[in-house]
Amino acid sequence: MQDTLQQRIPDALAQINRAILGKDSQARLSLCCLLSGGHLLLEDLPGMGKTTLAHALAGVMGLSFRRIQFTSDLLPADILGGSVFDPATATFHFHEGPVFCQVLMADEINRATPRTQSALLEAMEEGQVSLDGETRSLPEPFFVIATQNPSELAGTYPLPESQTDRFLMRLSLGYPSATAERELLAQPDQRLKPLNMTPCLSVTDLQDWQKHLSETHLSESVLDYIQRLIDFSRQSKRIQLGLSPRGGLAIVRAARCYARMAGRDHVTPDDVQAIFPAVADHRLRAADHVVPVGDSSDNSTAHHRTVAQWILDSVDVLQG
Using one digit for the tens of pLDDT, what is the confidence trace for 273-292?
A: 999 999 998 998 887 755 55
Residue 298 banded pLDDT, cuts 50, 70, 90: very low
CA 299 vs CA 121, 153, 175, 251: distances in Å: 29, 12, 10, 27
pLDDT of residue 277: 95
The Cα–Cα gap between 217 and 268 comes to 9
Q: Is the pLDDT of residue 300 over 50?
A: no
- Scored b (16 or more CB within 10 A) or e, 47-77 reads ebbbbbbbbbbbbbbbbebebbebeeebebe
In which element (H, E) is residue 271 found? helix 269-280
Q: What mean pLDDT is predicted for residues 40-57?
A: 88
CA 205 vs CA 59, 208, 250: distances in Å: 15, 5, 22
Report the Cα 188 to chain-centroid distance in Å. 29
Q: What share of the chain is helix, strand, coil (3-state, %, to 5)?
A: 45, 15, 40
Interstrand relation of 167-171 and 39-43 (parallel, antiparallel or unpaired): parallel
Tell which residue, 285, 71, 62, 315, has the closest CA to residue 165.
Answer: 285
Residue 21 banded pLDDT, cuts 50, 70, 90: confident
pLDDT of residue 303: 40
pLDDT of residue 261: 93
The Cα–Cα gap between 93 and 91 comes to 7
CB 129 within 8 A of CB 79: no
Q: Is the pLDDT of residue 187 over 50?
A: yes
In which element (H, E) is residue 170 found? strand 167-171
Give the residue with greater pLDDT, 20 vs 3.
20
280 burial via Cβ count (<10 Å: 0-12, 13-18, 19+): buried
- C-alpha distance across the termini of the chain, in Å: 41
Residue 258 banded pLDDT, cuts 50, 70, 90: very high
The Cα–Cα gap between 305 and 285 comes to 9
Tell which residue, 127, 138, 141, has the closest CA to residue 206.
Answer: 141
The Cα–Cα gap between 274 and 316 comes to 15
211 burial via Cβ count (<10 Å: 0-12, 13-18, 19+): exposed
CA angle 171, 190, 172 (to 5 degrees): 10
